Amino acid sequence: MLTKFYLVLSLLIIGGYAFVAFTGKEFGDPERQRVPADVRQSPGGYRSFHFWHSGYRGGK
């Protein structure tokens, strides 16, 4: 029983690896956003948009 379960689970894991490698998927990406259409159509386009960053992260 455990052996079958392990076999199925492992094949899923390996299949998952193959899928990730084949599709170029990475883990831990920040959520994908979209610049609103009205901003893109406005003068300056997305260059005038305030993006979703929270600022300073570095330092020691």
Partner 1 sequence: MSVEVSCPGCGAPIAFKTGSSIVVVCAFCNSVVARGDRKLEDLGKIADLVETGSPLDIGLHGAYQGVPFELTGRAQLGHQAGGVWDEWYAAFQNGAWGWLAEAQGRFYLTFEQSLPEQTLIPPFDALQPGSAVAALPTSVPLTVAETGVATQLGAKGEIPYKLIPGEEYEYADLSGSHGMFATFDYSETPTRVFVGREVSLGDIGLANAMAPEREARRVAGRQLNCTQCGGPLELRAPDQSLRVTCPNCGALLDVSQGRLEFMQALQPPKTPPIIPIGSVGEFEGVKLMVIGFVVRSVEFDGVRYYWEEFLLYNPQVGFRWLVRSDDNWNYVQSVPPGDVFHKSGAFGGKGDTVQFQGESFKIYQDTMARCEYVIGEFYWKVTVGEQVRAIDYVRPPRMLSLEISMVQLGVEQATDSATSKKSKKVRSAPTGEINWSLGTFLKHAEVEKAFGIKGIPRTSKIAPNQLFPHKKIYKIWGLLLLVTFVLGMIFLATGSRTKVFDQTYALQPVANSEGTQVIFSEPFQLKGRQNIRITANSNVDNSWLYIEGDLIEESTGDVQSFSMPVEYYHGVDDGESWSEGSQTPATHISAMPAGQYTLRLEAQWEKWQQPASVSVRIDQGVPRVLHVFLTLLFISIIPFFVMIAHFSFEKRRWSDSDYSPFGS
Smallest distance, Å, CB 48 to partner 1?
11
> Cα(33)–Cα(18) distance, rounded to whole angstroms?
27
Give me the least distance between CB of 43 and partner 1, in Å please: 15
Measured between alpha carbons, how far is 40 from 43 in angstroms, rounded to an integer? 8
Summarize as ranges the residues that interact with partner 1 (CB under 8 A): 2-3, 6-7, 9-11, 13-14, 16-18, 20-26, 29-30, 32-37, 39-40, 46-47, 51-53, 55-60
Q: How many CB atoms lie within 10 A of CB 38?
A: 7
**Minimum Å distance from CB 41 to partner 1?**
10
